[in-house]
Amino acid sequence: MKKVLLSLAMLMLLTASAFAVPEWPIQKYTLKNGLTLLTLEDSSTPSVSFQVWYHVGSKNERPGITGISHLFEHMMFKGSKNFADGEHDRLVQSSGGMINAYTSNDMTVYHQEFGRDQLELVAKLEADRMQYLTITDKQLSSERQVVLEERSERIENSPFGDVLEQLMANVYLAHSYSWLTIGWRKDVENIKLEDCLNYYGTYYNPANAVVVVVGDVKSAEVQKTIEKYFGKIPGNPKIPRPIYNEPEQRGERRISYHKVSQLPMFIAGYQCPPAGHADSYALDVLSAILSGGESSRAYQRMVYTDQIAIAAGGQYQSMEQGGVFFAYSMMQPGKTTADGEKALYEEIEKLKNEPVTAEELQKAKNQIEAQFFMGNQSNDQKGSQIGYFQTILADYKLIFQQADKYNAVTAEDIMRVAKTYLGERSRTVVNVIQENKGATPMGM
């Protein structure tokens, strides 16, 4: 009886739950030099998030200088014409602000959070380093060491970083998504100051940037301030863009990777379509059905019922020019990656051959809806959302059109995208070969 009641409750939710995202009152302003400014007022906290999005990342690199986007991001803190090395941090932080930056395959983002009084200061600092960066060989060699330490931490001495690096290098044979943003060690060791300056000259200009300001400051005031400090920087709209040159994959690629690892694990990647592609929404929904929460198919089968893994799942990750569906599991001691691959691929086959239930479909959509609202509570989170859509998909308004696209996904769509993208012949698998004396389970 209870079960019936529950199902009724779920049915009621089913009928009433198409999700919608109310539009945020964003104002868009384009400077003559091509700089895009997006503002969103929110006075509920005395806080402003100020982000500068450069449309450049490791996708724009070539072999020999892999990692330059990220190394260069570090160099952006080394001083510009009107601000000495370290001044940017000092000025922002000593007025209570926080500052940081990150680089990905497709973009490089500088973000700071501060009180409204610091708007002018931050605009001035960001404009200055957009056009007048002053960097020396000495600074480069010291920062290079910092980045190599970062690489050690994130890749070489990490349980997963190097495994992911192997995977991407084999999922992509031709395209620059083939290397991680941190770059190959030897390339980072050999990047020259001249490479950095060329890179700066090519990609760092207002026509290749989006400024996002969210928080306790009036849009009119932001526009005036941005115009004042960025308006005179010459813009060059001729930014070189890489083409998507990856050939079609015609056969599974299997990689053995030896490392010290206490538990057996594998990660597979399937080439998938890019962000914003019509099928990307169904792939997100499929990911949620396979591994969203402990009621998901992969968790229920592999972690809970069969107890062969401590973690398992499949997740679509989209980038600007391509996407990868990752399938992975970390096995229980005594189980093999072959056990894991078998179980996970069987679950993927089911997605191709049997329609998911109406309940599962609705659950996945509800999860995507909840994640949207839970993940967009702070000024910084909203700013990131706006910056991402404007930079990668060229229109922030798509934020508010996603809901319709997710709502429209059907059980047939899930089967279709699973068949289209998750086939054996477009799969690349990295199996970790355990190279350690701890390979036998402890206490057993």
Partner 1 sequence: MKRIFIFLLFAAALLLSNGQPILAAITLPPMSEKMLDNGLKIIVVENREQPVVSMRLILKSGTAADGKGKAGLANMAAGLLRKGTASRDATKISEEIDFVGGYLGAGAGLDATNVTAEVLTKHFDVGLTLLADIVLNPTFAESEIDRLRKQTMAGLMQQKDDPGTIADLQYSQYLFGEHPYGQPGSGTVESVSGITRDDIVGYWKSNFVPDNAVLFVAGDVTAADVFPKIEAQLGGWPKGNVAKLEVVPAPKINGTRVVLINKADATQANVKIGHLGIDRYNPDIYAVRVLNYILGGGGFRSRLMSDIRDKRGLTYGINSQFSFDRYQGEFTVTVSTRTDSTTQAISATIEHIKKIREADVTPQELSETISFYSGYFPRQFETPEQVASQLSIVELYGLEKDYLSKYIDNIASVTAPTVRAAAQKYLDPDNLLIVVVGKADDLREKLKQFGPVTEIDLFEL
Residues 165 to 194 in contact with partner 1, rule: CB under 8 A: none
Q: Which of 25, 46, 63, 237 touches partner 1 by CB under 8 A? A: 46
- Kindly determine how many residues on this chain lie close enough to bind partner 1 according to the rule CB under 8 A: 84
441 scored as a contact of partner 1 (CB under 8 A)? yes
Q: How many angstroms separate the CA atoms of 170 and 167, rounded?
A: 5
134 scored as a contact of partner 1 (CB under 8 A)? no
Nearer to partner 1, 29 or 160 (CB): 160
Tokens coding 421 = 């993208």
Q: Residues with Cβ < 8 Å from 142, sequence gap 6 or more?
A: none
Task: Give residues 247-276 in contact with partner 1 (rule: CB under 8 A).
Answer: 259-263
Buried b (16+ CB within 10 A) or exposed e, 174-211: ebbbbbbbbbbbebbeebeeebbeebbeebbbbbbbbb
Q: Which of 50, 53, 72, 77 touches partner 1 by CB under 8 A? A: 77
33 scored as a contact of partner 1 (CB under 8 A)? no
Nearer to partner 1, 127 or 429 (CB): 127
Q: Residues with Cβ < 8 Å from 311, sequence gap 6 or more?
A: 303, 328, 329, 330
432 backbone dihedrals φ, ψ, rounded to 5°: -85, 120
Tokens coding 90 = 């000092």
Tokens coding 134 = 């002053």
CB atoms within 10 A of CB 16: 7
Residue 93 contacts residue 215 (beta carbons within 8 Å)? no
15 scored as a contact of partner 1 (CB under 8 A)? no
157 scored as a contact of partner 1 (CB under 8 A)? yes
Q: Which of 363, 383, 391, 399 touches partner 1 by CB under 8 A? A: 363
359 scored as a contact of partner 1 (CB under 8 A)? yes
Q: Which stretch binds partner 1 (CB under 8 A): 88-96, 344-352, 399-407, 420-428?
A: 88-96
Task: Give residues 90-129 in contact with partner 1 (rule: CB under 8 A).
Answer: 90-91, 93-99, 113-115, 118, 121
Nearer to partner 1, 98 or 433 (CB): 98
**Residue 168: CB minimum distance to partner 1, A:** 20
Q: Which of 333, 341, 345, 393 touches partner 1 by CB under 8 A? A: 333
Q: How many angstroms separate the CA atoms of 131 and 397, rounded?
A: 29
377 scored as a contact of partner 1 (CB under 8 A)? yes
400 scored as a contact of partner 1 (CB under 8 A)? no
357 scored as a contact of partner 1 (CB under 8 A)? no
* Pairing, β 36-41 against β 209-215: parallel
Residue 383 contacts residue 53 (beta carbons within 8 Å)? no
18 scored as a contact of partner 1 (CB under 8 A)? no
332 scored as a contact of partner 1 (CB under 8 A)? yes
